[in-house]
Amino acid sequence: MAATSGSPKFPDFSVLKQLSKEHLVHLLESIPEKKDLVIDPDLMRPLDRIAGAQLLKRHGVDKIFKLESNKLEISGDSRMYLARPSVKNVKNIANQIKGDQENGRRKKYKILFVPRKLYFCEMLLEQEGVYGAVELEDFKLDLIALDRDILSLESPGFFRDYFVEGEHSLLHTIATSIVNLQSLFGTIPHVYGLGRCAKMVWDLVNTLKSLQGEPRAPIRNEIGHLFLIDREADLVTPLCTQTTYEGLLDETFNIRSGYCEFGPEVTGTDKSMRLLLNCEDQIFEDIRDRHISHVFAYLSAQAKMVQTGYQKGRELQNIGDVKSFVQTELKDLKQQYKSLTIHIGACERILNLKTKQINFEEQLQTEHSLLEGINLKECYTYIEEQIDRQVPPDKILRLLCLLSLTQNGLPTKDYQTLETHFLQSHGHKHLLTFSNLRKLGMYTEQPSVEVTKMTAADVRTKLTDKALMKKTAFRMLCKKLNLIPKSGEVNLRNPEDMSYVFSGAFTPLTCKLVEQVLAKGGWAGLDDVTKLLPVPTFAEHKAQSVKGRGSNGHHQVAPSEKVVLVYFLGGCTYAETAALRLLGKMKGYQFIFATTAITNGAALIGSINDGKK
C-alpha cells in the first residue's frame, strides 16, 4: 500500500494484533506444559481475530472449551481460563474448580482476565474458597483491529452498562486504549468530545498520561484528530434501518467481530459458512459501502467477468499458457468465484426479505416520514397496527423510539396508549424495558401536559427548562445542519452526500457533526447547533512542537492532519463508517473508527430489552 501524497496514510494497526498476540503467547507459555483452555463465549470471536487454533496449539493448548455453568470433565493437569471479569464468569470458574476438587482432582489453574482483573474477582474466588488454587493474570487486550480502519473493544454491553446503569468500569479500558494508541502512533493534537462519557474518558486519559510520565522518545504523530462521541448524543442514527450492503448484512445476518455466518439459504449448499469480512476480500471491499439497490448489478457484472476469465482458460491451446493460467489467474478466479457466490447469495436474501415482506418497504417509508416529520398520523396508525399484529418487540421498539426521538417526546395520551398497547401485546415485563428507554430519553413523554397541575412558579421554571425547549430540537437540528436532503436529490449509485446510507432520507448526525467540526476547526461557530444537542461538548488542542522536519522549508500541512480517529462510545454503525468513508473520499481525509462495539438498531434495542430475560 503505497501512500501517495494525495491520500493520507493509514496508521498500521496490524501492530496492535502483533502486540496482543505476543502478549497472549507469553501468557500461554507461563504454563509450559499442556493445558486446556476455557474461553468466555464473549471472547471466542475476538480471540479468533488475534490467534487461530494453530497458534494456541503451538503454545501448548490441548483442548478448547467454552466457559459455561457446567462442570468440566477434563483430564488435563492444568487449565487456563480466558474471561472477562464478571461475577457470572468468576462464579462459573469457581464452580468448575470446586467440582474438580470434590472429585479429588488436583490441577494447576490460571485465569487470564481480559483486559484486567478487578478486585471483586479475587474477593469472589476467596469467598468460594478457591483463591489459593488459582493464579490470576491480566491479558491486556483492548482494541482489536477488525479491519484496516476499524478498531473495536468488542464490548457490546457497554451501551447498557454505562448509559442505563451508570456503570463506569469500561471507561478505564477505553482511556487506556487511547493512551496505548497514542504511545504507538503519537500524541493526537486535536481532540473533540461530544458527551459526558467522552469528557470523563478524556480526563482519565490525561490522568493516566500524567502518571505515565513523558514518553522516552516522542513519536511523530500519525493521527491528527480524535473525536470522542457518546452514542447518547445521537440515538436516531442507529435506530434507522441501514441501506448500505454492509449495514444490511449486519442487520440481517449479524456480523460479529468481522465474521459473518451464512446459513444454507445463502451458501447454496447444505452447510453454513463463516466468512471474514474485511478489506482483503476485494469484492466485499468494492460493495460494502454501496447502496443496496446498486449491489446486485455490480455483482452480476463481476460474475460475468469471472466467467469470461474461465472461458479464457478454456480457450487456451498452448500448454505453457495453461500452466501459467492455472498458477496465477485460476487461483484468483476461484477466490473471486467463492466470494461472489456468497455475496450474491447474501444479496439475494436481503433483497428477498425486502420485497417479500411488504413490511420492509412500509417500515422504511415510516422511518423516513418520521425523520422528515411528515404524515405523522399515518405513522402513528402504522405503528399501532404493528403492535396489534404482534410484530417482534425489538422491531416495534425501534419505531417507537424513533417516533419519540424525532419529536422530542410524545404527548401524554399517545405515549400512554402506545405503551399500554405494547404491554398488552408483549407482557408487563416490558415495564422494565420502558423504564430503561425513559432513562435513555429514547421514549419519553412531552412535559407540557403537566402545566395544568403545576403552580405558576413551576410553570416558569419548566418553561425555561431545556426539556421544553427541546420539543423541537431534533427538527431544528435537521434544519440547521441540513440533515434531510430534498427527496430524490441524492444519487444512490455514485453518492456525493452522506445521507445515501439511509437512501437519501437522513444524514447521520454524528457524521455531520464531524464534518462541521473538521471544517470549522472546532466547536466554535457551531454554537447554535451545540445548544440543541442533548449532551455537552469540549475540545482540546495541543500546540504542535515539531513542524514539518522535512528538508523543504516552506510550510506544509503535516500528512497526519488529514487522519481522523472517530471513537464511538457505546457503539458505531456500518452506516456511519460508510458515510464518513465517503466524506473522507470527498474531502481528502482518512477516517479511522474506534468503538466499544459495532452496533445496529436491533442490537441497541436488544441490549436494553428486559422483556426477554
- For position 385 contacting another protein by CB under 8 A, the verdict is yes
Instruction: Give least dist CB 96 to another protein, A.
Output: 18
Q: Secondary structure of the chain: what % helix, strand, coil (to 5)?
A: 55, 15, 35
Query: Which residues are paired to 63 by β-bridges?
Result: none
- 22's enclosing H/E stretch is helix 14-29
Site string for another protein, 134-163 (x = CB under 8 A): ---------------------------x--
Instruction: Give least dist CB 295 to another protein, A.
Output: 19
Q: Is the CB of residue 445 less than 8 Å from the CB of residue 460?
A: no
Instruction: Give least dist CB 116 to another protein, A.
Output: 7
Residue number with CB closer to another protein (291 or 426): 426
The angle at the Cα of 23, spanning 116 to 204, to the nearest 5 degrees, equals: 40
Instruction: Give least dist CB 420 to another protein, A.
Output: 7
Q: Which three cell numbers stand for residue 358?
A: 411488504
Residue selected from 293, 328, 420, 487 as contacting another protein according to rule CB under 8 A: 420
Residues in the interface with another protein (CB under 8 A) total: 47
Instruction: Give least dist CB 356 to another protein, A.
Output: 11
Q: Which three cell numbers stand for residue 561?
A: 492532519
Residue number with CB closer to another protein (55 or 351): 351
Residue number with CB closer to another protein (252 or 425): 425
Residue selected from 7, 95, 101, 169 as contacting another protein according to rule CB under 8 A: 169
Instruction: Give least dist CB 175 to another protein, A.
Output: 7
- For position 128 contacting another protein by CB under 8 A, the verdict is no
- For position 413 contacting another protein by CB under 8 A, the verdict is no
- For position 251 contacting another protein by CB under 8 A, the verdict is no
- For position 200 contacting another protein by CB under 8 A, the verdict is yes
Q: Which three cell numbers stand for residue 237?
A: 442514527
- For position 190 contacting another protein by CB under 8 A, the verdict is no
Binding part of the chain for another protein, among 16-24, 64-72, 328-336, 388-396 by CB under 8 A, reads: 388-396
Q: What is the 3-state secondary structure (H, E, C) of 510-549?
A: HHHHHHHHHHHCCCCCCHHHHCCCCCCEEEEECCCCCCCC
Look up residue 26 and give its amino acid. Answer: H
Query: Counting beta carbons within 10 angstroms of the beta carbon of residue 246, is it exposed (0 to 12), middle (13 to 18) or buried (19 or more)?
Result: buried
Strand residues in 134-236 grouped as ranges (E): 134-138, 144-145, 150-152, 190-194, 225-230
* Span 203-222, contacts to another protein by CB under 8 A: 203-204, 207, 210-211, 213
Q: Which of 386, 292, 285, 381 is nearest to 336 (CA)?
A: 285
Residue number with CB closer to another protein (56 or 442): 442
Binding part of the chain for another protein, among 10-18, 51-59, 368-376, 387-395 by CB under 8 A, reads: 387-395
Q: Which three cell numbers stand for residue 215?
A: 514518553
Residue number with CB closer to another protein (113 or 523): 113
What angle separates helix 245-253 from helix 574-587, to the nearest 10 degrees? 170
Residue selected from 29, 120, 487, 542 as contacting another protein according to rule CB under 8 A: 120
Q: How far apart are CA 350 and CA 245, in angstroms?
A: 9
DSSP 159: I
Residue number with CB closer to another protein (117 or 470): 117
- For position 513 contacting another protein by CB under 8 A, the verdict is no
Look up residue 107 and give its amino acid. Answer: K
DSSP 160: I
Instruction: Give least dist CB 226 to another protein, A.
Output: 18
b/e per residue, 485-506, with b = 16+ CB within 10 A?
beeeebebeebebbbbbbbbbb
The residues of the shown chain that bind another protein, judged by CB under 8 A, are 86-88, 116-120, 123-124, 161, 165-169, 171-172, 175, 200, 203-204, 207, 210-211, 213, 384-385, 387-390, 416, 419-421, 423-429, 431-432, 435, 610
